[in-house]
Amino acid sequence: MSSALFDTVFKELEARNDDIRPSDILLFSEPLRTALNTVIHLSRFNLTEFAANLPFTREEARELASLLVKRNLFELFVADQQEPVYMARLSAMTRPATRPPSDLWKKID
Amino acid sequence: MSKIISIHSFRGGTGKSNTTANIAALLAKDGARVCVVDTDINSPGIHVLFNLDDSEMVHSLNDYLWQKCTIEEAAHDVTSRVGGDIKGQILLIPSSIKPGEIARILRDGYDVGLLNDGFRDVVDKLKLDYLLIDTHPGLNDETLLSIAISNILVVILRPDSQDYQGTAVTVDVAKKLDVPNMIMLVNKTPSAFDFDDVRERVEQTYDVKVGAVLPHADEMMTLASSGIFAIQFPDHPITKGLQKLVEFIKK
């Protein structure tokens, strides 16, 4: 049975529909934020390294990692069942500038 | 091991680009292989300090983000343009200064993930000792990305009330992103100020070490970004202060 903390963290991530952008990291609660900061610095890491930064079981960490792959923060680099390896990659499109009135962009192009 | 260093300030006009260019030159002078990336896509400018004219830019960061070239193809060797006795190498990935290209990237946006990939790829492919990221002032996804992946964050501020308040936000964000090493640089300090007092005040306020307190100097204003200050004025107090910062970076 999963812990209440794991459920909270999982639901926080599951509630998102968009890719995770850099500014989102600031909004995550602990322990997720610190865990993500750590693996972003590592860039490439295995499940053991990810789980070591979380107060969850290995399988709970694997579930979180799978969800983060869906949210495009992690990429599955080595699909090894025993010890998968991931890459962390902050992604998402920057917010494009809103269109100014008077069709200004065309004058600059 | 390669190091990624972001040079950032909450406010504009603090001297980020000048500081970045000077740090790059001082590191390369000691033999390091350094690349500078201008991520200030809205208002690029560091290429001027390296005497790289717009007409000489084969590719820019913009081209990489539009996937017209690889990140290493956007790197220009500017070592010989800096002057001085440089034992290492300085590469520059500039942002485009063409109005249409700036407008296009603002209008359409781009994938921050490509910037993320680019930083990692350029370190590996160009076998860099240091990657210096010259950032846009203030907080946005690009600056947050730079801060998030950096080994060292240099936060620059002037001894000015607006800077003091805004810097508190930057330092708070950097701590939330668990930046491994953070150091502050107080720039453009009037000679009437007590430099030791400024250092103490900043260190106590932010609980972050101050690498140097640099004076406001007419020589810097007169140079007017036409070259690298540390190369042209090797014995100036500004250069001495920047050297202390470089020693911290090299540790």
Strands A85-88 and A44-46, bridge-based pairing = antiparallel
Highest mean pLDDT among A93-97, A98-102, B130-134 belongs to B130-134
Hey, which of A16-20, B11-15, B140-144 has the most confident mean pLDDT? Answer: B11-15
- Residue whose tokens read 């599955």: A76
Higher-pLDDT residue of B5 and A99 is B5
| DSSP conformation letters of B41-106 | TTS--HHHHTT--GGG-SS-HHHHHTTSS-TGGG-EE-HHHH-S--SSEEEEEPPP--HHHHHHHH
Amino acid B223 reads L
The residue in chain B having the minimum alpha-carbon distance to the alpha carbon of residue A30 is B176
The pLDDT mean for chain B works out to 95
Residue A52: which domain range?
Answer: 4-91
- Please give the residue of chain B at the shortest CA–CA distance from A41: B149
- Kindly list the residues of chain B whose beta carbon comes within 8 Å of any beta carbon in chain A: 99-100, 103-104, 106-113, 116-117, 120, 139-142, 144-145, 148-149, 151, 173, 176-178, 180
Q: The CATH number of the domain where B13 resides is what?
A: 3.40.50.300
The reply to whether A53 falls in a domain is yes
Average pLDDT over residues B204-221: 96
Question: For residue A83, is it within any domain?
Answer: yes
pLDDT single digits (tens) B150-177: 999 999 999 999 999 999 999 999 999 9
Taking an 8 Å cut-off on Cβ atoms, the answer to whether A41 and B111 are in contact is: no
Domain that holds residue B93: 3-250
Residue B213 phi, psi dihedral angles, 5° rounding: -110, 115
Across the range B183-198, mean pLDDT stands at 97
Q: Give me the number of domains chain A comprises.
A: 1
Average pLDDT estimate for A37-43: 87
| Measured distance CA(A55)–CA(A52) in Å, rounded | 8
What's the pLDDT score for residue A20? Answer: 80
Answer whether B17's CB lies under 8 Å from B39's CB: no
User: Is A86 a domain residue?
Assistant: yes
Q: Considering its fold, how many domains does chain B have in total?
A: 1
Could you identify the residue written with the tokens 């260190």? B203
pLDDT of residue B198: 97
- Please count the residues of chain A: 109
Q: Which one of A32, A89, A94, A103 makes the best mutation probe of the B interface by having the most chain B beta carbons within 10 Å?
A: A94
Nearest by Cα to B180 from B153, B156, B207, B202: B153
- Using an 8 Å Cβ cutoff, are A22 and B112 in contact? yes
CATH of the domain at A38: 1.10.10.10
